[in-house]
Amino acid sequence: MDTFRVEGDSFFVGEVEYPHTMVVSKDLDCGKLGLVRERQAFIECAAGDYAVSVIWGTNTYSVNHAVHGDDFTETPTAVEVGVVSRHGVLQNWWGDDVDPVKGYQTPDQVNRLVEEVNNA
């Protein structure tokens, strides 16, 4: 399956399971702007110094970018990612002259990023 999904206390990136992953869900009724929905998972990496942040929902660089309300998908095929320190600071993982987040990342790309961060 080439999607991202939450099952119980596990987060799946394609077929790779990341157990005990913290997932945050936000659904905000913004009146005339509609329902704004967002999901974020934090995949803790080996040494615990970093986590890969995976986010999808309204106004994120994911398949749900312009989605409000019922069109939202809980199992996106592309998400926005970044690397955060254990102190919650977004890292410039890809270099100082590059945006610290990458959009529209596939499960394969995210799994490669997790492996890279685990080996850092």
More confident residue, 68 or 89: 89
pLDDT, mean over the chain: 89
More confident residue, 114 or 47: 114
Residue type, 108: D
Q: Show the domain range for 47.
A: 4-118
Rounded Cα–Cα distance for residues 89 and 87 (Å): 6
How many CB atoms sit inside 10 A of residue 93's CB? 19
Chain centroid offset of residue 53 CA: 5
Asked which of 2-6, 13-17, 28-32, 113-117 is least confident by mean pLDDT, the reply is 28-32
Please give the tally of structural domains in the chain.
Answer: 1
Rounded Cα–Cα distance for residues 75 and 3 (Å): 6
| Predicted structure pTM score | 0.90
Confidence of residue 68 (pLDDT cuts 50, 70, 90): low
Maximum pairwise Cα distance, the chain: 46
The yes-or-no verdict on residue 4 having pLDDT over 90 is: yes
Task: With H, G, I as helix, E, B as strand and everything else as coil, classify residue 81.
Answer: strand
Provide mean pLDDT across the span 43-58.
90
